[in-house]
Amino acid sequence: MQNRPLPSRLFCRNDAAMAQPALIKTFAAMLLSATCWLAAGSAFAQDAQPLKVLRTSFRVAETGFDCQRLSDVYSNDVCAQIFDTPLEYDYLARPSKLVPSLLREVPVPEQGGLVYTFRFKPGIYFAADEAFKGVKREIVAADLEYSIKRLVDPAMSSPNSWQVDDRIVGLDELAAKAKKDGKFDYQAKVAGLQLLDRYTLKITLKKPDFNFLYVFAMPTLTPLAHEVIEYYKDDITAHPVGSGPFKLVQWVRRSKIVLERNPEYREEKLDTTYANPNDEWDREVVKSIAGKKLPLLDRIEIYPIEAEQPRFLAFINGEHDLLPETPPSYAAQVMPNGKLSPTLAAQHVRAFVELQPELTYDSFNLDDPVVGGYDAQHVALRRAMAMGFNRGQEISIIRRNSAMAAQSPIAPGIVGYDPTFTAVDQDYAPARAKALLDTYGYVDRDGDGYREQPDGSPLSIEYKISSGGLSYLMLSQLWEKSMRAIGIRLNIVTVQFGDLIRDQKVGKFQLTGAAWIADYPDAQNFLQLFYGPNTGSSNNARFRLSAFDKLYEQAIAMPDSAERNALYREMNRYILAYVPWKLGVHRSYIHLMRPWVKGFKKHPMYHSRFKYLDIDAVAQQAGHQ
Amino acid sequence: MNLSTFVMRRLLHMIPTLLGVMLLIFVLFNWVGGDPAYILAGKISDPKQIENIRTQLGVNQPYWVQFWIFIKQVCTFDFGRSWATNELVSDVLLTRVVPTLTIMVPVLLLETILAVLFAVLVAYVRGTLTDRMVMLGCTVAMSISFLVYIIVCQWLFGFKLGWFPVQGWSDSFITNLVRYAPLPILLAVMVDLAPSLRLYRSFVLDEMNHDYVRTARAKGLSENTVMLKHVLRNAAIPILTNVGIALPGLFVGSFLLEVFFSIPGLGREVVESVNRSDFPVMKAITVYLAVLTMLTNLLVDVLYRWVDPRVAFK
Amino acid sequence: MSSVMGMPVARSSEGPWRLGWRRLRRDHVAMWSLAITLLFIFIMLASYTGLIARNWNAEVAASYAEPTFDKVTNTDIHSPIGIQRPEAGPPVDISDIDPLAPRYQEWRERTAKIQAVQAAQAVRLPLGADQWGHDVLAKTIKGSEISITVGIVAALLAVFVGTALGALAGYFGGWIDTLLEWLYNVLTSLPYILLILAVAAVFSRGFTTIIMILGLTGWTGIYRLIRAEYLKHTDRAYVRAAQALGASHASRMFRHILPNVSHVILVQFSQNVVGFIKAEVILSFLGLGVPVDMVSWGTIFAETQEELVLGKWWQLVAAGGSMAILVTAISMLTDAMRDALDPKLQE
């Protein structure tokens, strides 16, 4: 990276023209331009302050930056750097803790979790954009009201509308009316969204909800300027305008995203309240960036690279400074035996190992006549299949040991996660699996090596995966082998990605693989995948057990407490008993960075948090020699 | 018949072919194209939302309505916006074609020049051990899969030796040409050279078997003159025909190269649009390529007949 | 033919095939290529019948075992794998809500009676093991069986379709020719990759699928050649003679003309086999190849993608080497056959 002089226009700001005699004006102009020229020249000469540029990659390409309309992780991640949200997660606190960002304080649940009052900080402005026609635009509570309405606008068909669907009084009725009228009336008043004053919004919910605030840490529910939306119309995905620490300056789709510092970003410094003095990463963060005005980076270049080898080699070769989520295939090379490889250690590369708040799993279809059902015989089939699958090989060979066997659907680091909870009948136990199948009548009667159903009809189960890409290929190979070893015929069926999603949602499958990453750090986000009424929207296993549903409904009306954790434990026991899922693993990722990247601590709920990163530009230049 | 009638006839013939292409891709997409609504609906969705998306995309309308819209789109060159990214499809095509051409045009030029050069050289020494070794080398080179070349060369030249960047693309044309394109271009030339060399060698040898060559030699002309002035001139016709046939392929590029080297080109776009069931992009690329193929074939035919006066317009 | 007026007796004319074979025999390179090809086909048949490489799917060694001529055993890792949970408690008790609880006792008894898996025998691994611990040599042999089969069967399909359509177009001409020309133009105007993805999407991933994909997209080349040949031959004297003698269309097309173009067909078939073997590699990389429980050169190459950076080179060398040898052999054989059978190249 070569040096660039600081733009000379920073030193040549023109004040409003003054009514001066022409001569003085001319003289002043000459003096000014001479100064500019000298300043620029000295910047050239001195290598004064090299720009702080971070180059990194995404492992999946982005789609666009209208985060209400799009829901993929990486587009959201870029939005999170451009938009401020009402609330955010504290950078250092673990487990995740909500702290105010645009709001003055975290709203306290009122009336038993029915009402929340949002009080915005005054004096925060959107970044300058031509849509504002030169006016400096302050963020007001009405912008959040507009944003909430836009999320449920039928014309948006937003995949994120579930965040507010059926929660806010009067909102769903307005959306239904908009569907009938063909147009959403943004001026109409919604009973549950009350503007108390310029900076205050009072939200009233239909039912008590103690997890409601989490959605306001996501870039989907950030205050939006309606002028920008109306100005750019369909091009809005290329023109995100927020008040955040960075602005989008260049976008070559699926190839390069460039962010630059927002010069008008408000005063913000690292909050060290929750820093843990015993954590080495916390110590480094505090040492590097405490007390400094954020953001520290001048420019960020993000390169989406979906192929593993090029993305990995780009970091190793020095083309990139930060490698988030090292491809698992190279994990053993980067950290053999759990320690950083000598080559990388010699280059002072640092590695952050993170157990992400997610899990992989294989889902049965509980409505299927062969594998579904709640009676002992069918439960036995699913339990046997779960025990027949060689999860040990999945972890050691496919995941290269960078994974933890999941004991429940709840991921580590999530509120409600119990580190002592150990599952039963989910680990590899082929003898028990075979014995169980024998007990319940799944025996091989015709000697072809595969078992039949208890009534004698042939047993053949389909494992459905997507045809594009090799991601589930090895896993499906392992499934086929494991099932063959216990005598169950498993056919791997590949379909187009879009069709796979559809088949999973409408229940046209027997067994399929998937993964779920936390949208917010509460166990409810995972357990809602088993809630009966969610069948067809997020409950793809179509699990409908009234005992489970009753526990779930009790739990969502409670805040985090020992009683709620007891309910979660009960729900987990039902899941283990009826096996709607074969639990997979929680994957761990290694994030690599060069020694000149400072201030890094991977937050489980964010993919990137660039406003806290710093680059030692001198060391970076030296490193490239 | 004369030139203009010939061209007119051929242009008219293009219409049923284009309609056939459109019909084919329309049938293929609606039959096997995958359902885009579910991809767009996200992690948590309900049937109401899916219906909503379907209506927005226009896939709920009867087939003949959709096909009529398709015809209108082809006539106006406006395919709307991508279903996945909401980008204007025309933008998609224009921005993707530049990287593809940045790779493919140098490849074609280099590969043709080198192949002709080596073909002539080898024809000089036809029948000798050198000739046979070169031919054997070509055959062996052709037997290795392109995929293997990419994997090994990217690792060897990009990683082990560090001569080229492993992947990437920038927005400056010069940077691309000088820094990012060389390794993919080198790979493509390596792979394409062998078959072209074999083919051109056979063209040159065919020419050399003709009577006029014997006459020229009998007249006492040097071997150099015979080769370069007479044989090469005549062999140029089938060589150029071959280059012409390769022209449409220039625009779709090699998707393998683009995927491995992260080049935002048209080939990669085709695969991705199929994976995402992004019909507008698929439609646009297919129609655009079909028209291009037909036009280049026409152009090659016209040039061929202009260059070789023995061939009449039929 | 008897000698009548003292003229020398002419030998009965040999068919073009006999002549071609004689010429081929004189070409040493061609003979070696033929031998290598036959060797591969022999190995392929042996593999198909299960004589060799029957247990390629067995995990006989540790993951990524290196090539060695010593005997190694399967060292299954029993040490803790993956990330451990230091605070883990005992497995939770679900007997009060478990539908299987009533028959726990019976289940326990049956489990006790099932024997443990016996220890694996030691094997030699001249080509090392892949990440599952499969013997790469066995895998390569099985892979070549599948790849060669795919190549041959798909080529047969393509040749069959292309010849049939080419014969119809060249022989009948008229509207049949126009229609087939239109079909040909439409199919060749589509980008090849799009066509492949489209056909692949119709059928689920499977052995017949990949043959269909390759066969149904690869017939255009031979179609063109056969059509040209039939155009040439249809007006020839011998065909007209057959017509005068009352031969039907089908008879003229297939009994009379076809043998005269069979050398073109053979050469095309051979080229197609090579082309399809190479195409299968790309398709497997895209995830459209043979089913998951089968192995082919393509699936092996797809795995080598990540192995190379890890320094595991043996699968790449094994599959790459065997494929290169076979494809080179067939290519050289094809060239020699073309030269031997082409009447124009004769003195």
pLDDT tens for each residue of C111-155: 988 866 655 666 777 888 888 888 888 889 998 898 999 999 999
Of A435, A428, A299, the residue nearest C115 (C-alpha): A435
Q: Which helix (H) or strand (E) holds A247?
A: strand A246-252
Compute the C-alpha angle C60/C65/C71, nearest 5°: 60
Q: pLDDT higher for A403 or A473?
A: A403
Q: Calculate mean pLDDT across residues A139-143.
A: 94
CA distance B215 to C57: 66
**Residue pair A585/A359 in contact by the 8 Å Cβ criterion:** yes
Of residues A312, A355, A477, nearest to C292 (C-beta): A477
Helix axes C258-286, C220-234, angle to 10 degrees: 170
Beta bridge partners of A256: A252
Decide the pairing of beta strands A403-405 and A585-593: antiparallel
Do the Cβ atoms of A491 and A460 come closer than 8 Å?
yes
Nearest-CA distance from B201 to chain A in Å? 37
- Closest Cα partner for A117 from A96, A86, A93? A86
Give the separation between CA C341 and CA C347, rounded to whole angstroms. Answer: 13
- pLDDT given for residue A482 in this prediction: 92
Angle between helices C174-189 and C220-234 (to 10 degrees): 160
Q: So what's the pLDDT on residue C315?
A: 86
Which of C336, C295, C326, C293 is CA-nearest to residue C43? C326
Q: Which residue do the tokens 């300027």 mark? A: A225
Residue-level pLDDT at A116: 95
**B271 → closest Cβ in C197, C278, C323:** C197
Confidence of residue A89 (pLDDT cuts 50, 70, 90): very high
pLDDT for position A161? 84
Which residues, other chains included, contact A337 with Cβ-Cβ below 8 Å and sequence gap of 6+? none
**Residues from chain B contacting residue C335 (CB–CB below 8 Å):** 139
Confidence of residue A31 (pLDDT cuts 50, 70, 90): low
**What helix, strand, coil percent values describe chain A, rounded to 5?**
35, 20, 45
What's the mean per-residue pLDDT of chain B? 81
Report residues of chain B scoring pLDDT below 70: 1, 32-34, 42-44, 307-314
How far, in Å, CA of B174 to CA of B295, rounded?
30
Residue B22's contacts (CB-CB under 8 Å, 6 or more residues apart) are: B67, B70, B71, B74, B283, B287
pLDDT one-digit tens code per residue, A434-481: 999 999 999 999 888 899 999 989 999 999 988 765 567 788 889 998
Residue with tokens 């000469």: A45
Number of Cα atoms under 13 Å in the Cβ half of residue B14? 19
- The pair of structure tokens assigned to C185 is 């133009």
CA distance A489 to chain B (A): 27
Per-residue tokens: C61: 């060694």
Supply the pLDDT for residue A36.
Answer: 53
* The pLDDT of residue A7: 35
What tokens were used for A609?
A: 């948090």
Residue A309, chain C, CB below 8 Å: the answer is yes
First to last CA, chain A: 10
Got the DSSP string for A378-408? HHHHHHHHHHHS-HHHIIIIISTT-EEE-SS
Nearest Cα neighbor of C290 from C157, C156, C144, C150 is C150
Which tens digit of pLDDT belongs to each residue from A156-198?
Answer: 878 888 888 889 999 999 988 988 888 898 999 999 999 999 9
Query: Taking the CB of residue A180, how many other CB atoms lie within 10 A of it?
Result: 8
Cβ partners under 8 Å of residue C330, min gap 6:
C33, C37, C270, C273, C274
Please report residues of A whose CB lies closer than 8 A to that of B275: 468-469, 496-497
The answer to whether residue A22 scores a pLDDT higher than 60 is no
Interchain contact A56–B (C-beta under 8 A)? no
B289 closest CA partner among C195, C196, C189: C189
**DSSP helix/strand/coil, B309:** coil
Q: What is the mean pLDDT of residues A53-81?
A: 90
Q: Do B43 and A505 touch (CB under 8 A)?
A: no
Secondary structure of A61-128 as H, E, C letters: CCCCCCCCCCCCHHHHHHHHHHCCCCEEECCCCCCCCEEECCECCCCCCECCCCEEEEEECCCCECCC
Residue B281 to residue B268: CA distance in whole angstroms: 12
Give the C-alpha separation, A242 to A223, whole Å.
8
What is the widest separation between alpha-carbon atoms in chain A? 108
End-to-end CA distance of chain C: 25
Residues in chain C: 347
pLDDT value of residue A439:
94
Q: Reduced to 3 states, what is the DSSP secondary structure of residue A54? A: strand
In this structure, are residues A253 and B264 in contact, taking their beta carbons and an 8 Å threshold? Answer: yes
Interface residues from chain C to A (CB-CB < 8 Å): 57, 63, 77, 81-85, 87-94, 97-100, 102-103, 106-107, 110-111, 113-114, 116, 131-132, 200-201, 204-205, 287-288, 291-293, 302, 305-306, 309-310
Q: What is the pLDDT of residue B91?
A: 84
Q: Cα A311 to chain center, whole Å? A: 20
Strands (E), chain C: 68-72, 123-125
Contacts of C65 (CB under 8 A, 6+ apart): C72, C125, C128, C129, C133
Report how far residue B126's alpha carbon sits from residue C66's, in angstroms, rounded to the nearest whole number: 45
**Testing the interface with B: which of A151, A163, A309, A333 to mutate, by most B Cβ within 10 A?**
A309
Q: What is the CA radius of gyration of chain B?
A: 24
Q: CA–CA separation, A343 vs A353, rounded Å?
A: 18
A299-304 and A246-252 beta bridge pairing: unpaired
| Nearest CA among C169, C179, C152, C128 for reference residue C312 | C128
Rounded to whole angstroms, how far apart are CA atoms A224 and B235?
Answer: 67
**For A352-379, what is the mean pLDDT?**
94
Taking alpha carbons only, the member of A305, A402, A300, A301 closest to residue A356 is A402
Q: What is the pLDDT of residues C153-187, one digit of tens each?
A: 999 999 999 999 998 888 888 898 889 988 888 88
CA distances from A367 to A287, A363, A541 (A): 56, 12, 8
Question: Which letter does DSSP use for residue B178 in this model?
Answer: I
Q: Please give the backbone phi and psi of residue A351, each rounded to the nearest 5 degrees, phi first.
A: -125, 125
CA distance to partner chain C, nearest, from residue A397 (Å): 7
With both helix axes pointing from N to C terminus, report the angle between B266-275 and B232-252 in degrees, rounded to the nearest 10: 40
Per-residue burial over A44-83, b if 16 or more Cβ lie within 10 Å, else e, is eeeeeebbbbbbbbbbebbbbbbbbbbbbebbbbbbbbbb
Q: pLDDT averaged over chain A?
A: 87
Say how many CA atoms lie within 13 Å of B219 toward its Cβ.
9
Give the tens place of pLDDT for each residue, A533-573. Answer: 999 888 999 999 999 999 999 998 888 889 999 999 999 99
CB contacts, 8 Å: C189 with chain B: 17-18, 21, 289-290, 293-294
Q: What secondary structure letter does DSSP report for A522? A: B
Residue A281 near residue A117 (C-beta atoms within 8 A): no
The pair of structure tokens assigned to A532 is 């009966």
Residues of chain C with confidence (pLDDT) below 70: 1-14, 71-80, 115-122, 200-205, 342-347
B194 part of contact set with chain C, CB < 8 Å = no
Contact indicator for B226, B216 with CB cutoff of 8 Å:
yes
Per-residue DSSP letter, A539:
B
Query: Alpha carbon of B224 to those of B213, B232, B238, C303: distances in Å?
Result: 12, 11, 21, 51
Confidence of residue A404 (pLDDT cuts 50, 70, 90): very high
